[in-house]
Structure 1
């Protein structure tokens, strides 16, 4: 039974600095979970803790009821977790075609090009030569193709045109996965309070609000005051 992924009393240290202070946070399967917070709030560290690239100093990562705290990032990826960071999310030397073929389990880039037809004329370009928004399309297409059970994305639409960003959020909502996004503000396409979009507001390494998207405080309030 798929339950999703969660942090339990999670603490993360970067040297002497504690970045997460005993965070409890759940991202159920079949929902989009949005981590809202300003830069430095801890939202990126939450994603890294779930992915295993930021080891916990205390607490646990629980995935579908199993404790995976000690599982390495590559083991989590092999089990069906896809992490798209905000930086260095593509291999600069690889062509776009190579990225999408490697990401597709059957090697078929068709679904990626259906999601982002803007990539078709760029297939022979090296990813490092693309604009920021184009690189994000390549990176997010990997998540769309991977058929992962948990998809973690840090500011997935950064640099995208508004219409492409709106399409991206619609595609992410359709994934049969626990989708976790780190954002500074709640995207317009995810504001519907139908229970399929959950929000956790992160401030200074702690969760200060958890609830449905329709109940989330405005960014100018609880979020914007974070450190």
Structure 2
């Protein structure tokens, strides 16, 4: 079992602290959802797990080992895949070339998103926003990573494609962490660990089905 966690993590951007001692744990195989509005710290938490931003305090622990000082490229070599909200594909490369960076065989990615098949020879920067998200997520699916971190995976996708995307991510044999502003309806009935962040702090930790229940404690975490 893979377990990726933040322990009392603090992140600063100059004089501003974006994470105030955040503690969370993402098991795997399994799905973890980080919720929060813009400025809540959810993207920063995702980047801290990936090693994109340094911690000013606390630790990142992966399978019981402190990897706080391990750079992002080394975490990637160990099996971590990050799909950022922006610039998630290589615009100057074709769809086929983007997929080849993750796997020499694009079959799994094309089975996941058949809409990409007629676009294989198109440059990625000519795709629509939804098509670029499909390409970015399909690369993560093809990479067979141990940890998959995805920031707002379904931006620009139609509701049916978005629902399929969540189903594909939930079915991965990996530790999957997605960051969203609100809990998608497609995930409400799926087993998932949920953390809600506000102003850089965890205000809820529990299961997806508990969100919105009367009397749930915002300070449960």
Report the TM-score when normalising by structure 1: 0.92
Distance (Å, rounded) in 2 between the aligned partners of 1:92 and 1:217: 40
Distance (Å, rounded) in 2 between the aligned partners of 1:31 and 1:3: 9
Which residue of 2 is the match for residue 144 of structure 1?
A: 141
SS in 2 for 1:207: strand
- Give the paired residue count: 216
Distance (Å, rounded) in 2 between the aligned partners of 1:217 and 1:10: 27
Which residue of 2 is the match for residue 207 of structure 1?
A: 202
How far apart are 1:201 and its partner, in Å? Answer: 0.3
How far apart are 1:222 and its partner, in Å? Answer: 9.5
Question: What pairs up with 1:117-136 in 2 under 5 angstroms?
Answer: 117-136=114-133
Distance (Å, rounded) in 2 between the aligned partners of 1:203 and 1:216: 15
Distance (Å, rounded) in 1 between the aligned partners of 2:70 and 2:29: 23
SS in 2 for 1:45: helix
SS in 1 for 2:4: strand
Instruction: Answer whether contact 2:166 2:186 (CA < 8 A) is retained.
Output: yes
Distance (Å, rounded) in 2 between the aligned partners of 1:8 and 1:121: 45
Report the TM-score when normalising by structure 2: 0.95
Q: CA RMSD in A?
A: 1.5
Distance (Å, rounded) in 1 between the aligned partners of 2:210 and 2:174: 23
Which residue of 1 is the match for residue 51 of structure 2?
A: 52
Distance (Å, rounded) in 2 between the aligned partners of 1:3 and 1:75: 17
**Structure 1 stretches of 5 or more lacking a match?**
none
Distance (Å, rounded) in 1 between the aligned partners of 2:124 and 2:175: 27
**Structure 2 stretches of 5 or more lacking a match?**
none
Deviation by residue 1:122-171 (Cα, 9 ceiling, x = unmatched): 10000001110000000001110111111000000000011110100000
> Are 2:162 and 1:165 aligned?
yes
How far apart are 1:3 and its partner, in Å? Answer: 3.5
